[in-house]
Amino acid sequence: MTDKDYIEMFYNTAMSDDSYNPLLARLERAIEHNISLCSFVDSKRTVLDRFGRLAEATAAVLKLDISQANDVVSTFGVLLVGASRADQTPNFDVELIPSDVRELLNSTPPIWDRLSVALPSPA
């Protein structure tokens, strides 16, 4: 599968359900702001698990190592959240959030930094 085919499938799969983007936006803007910390942590651990599964499949299809595949999946996930204008995480006390979930919440800048080094400069 080519990179282009992969991203088209990733995007089309996410967009094939008309309720996906509105639900994602509602989740980030309202639902996560009105649940307990325990429920928030549980849901983010589920996200980590799903990202891991997607990364494993992505690694095999695009012939990447697992670290690169994690970056791909995380980056496209961030792009979808940004496209839906849903990037408004609730304000929990950071010290109360377990380190694995905190790492997910804080992962965006390092991913962009790694990708900016990996991508070629415009001609």
Please, what are the averages of pLDDT over each run of 10 residues along the chain (123 residues)? 85 80 72 82 87 92 92 82 58 72 62 48 46
The Cα diameter of the chain in Å comes to: 49
Q: What's the CA gap between 45 and 24, in Å, rounded?
A: 17
pLDDT at 112: 47
pLDDT at 120: 46
Judge contact between 28 and 81, C-beta under 8 A.
Answer: yes
pTM of the model: 0.59
pLDDT at 57: 94
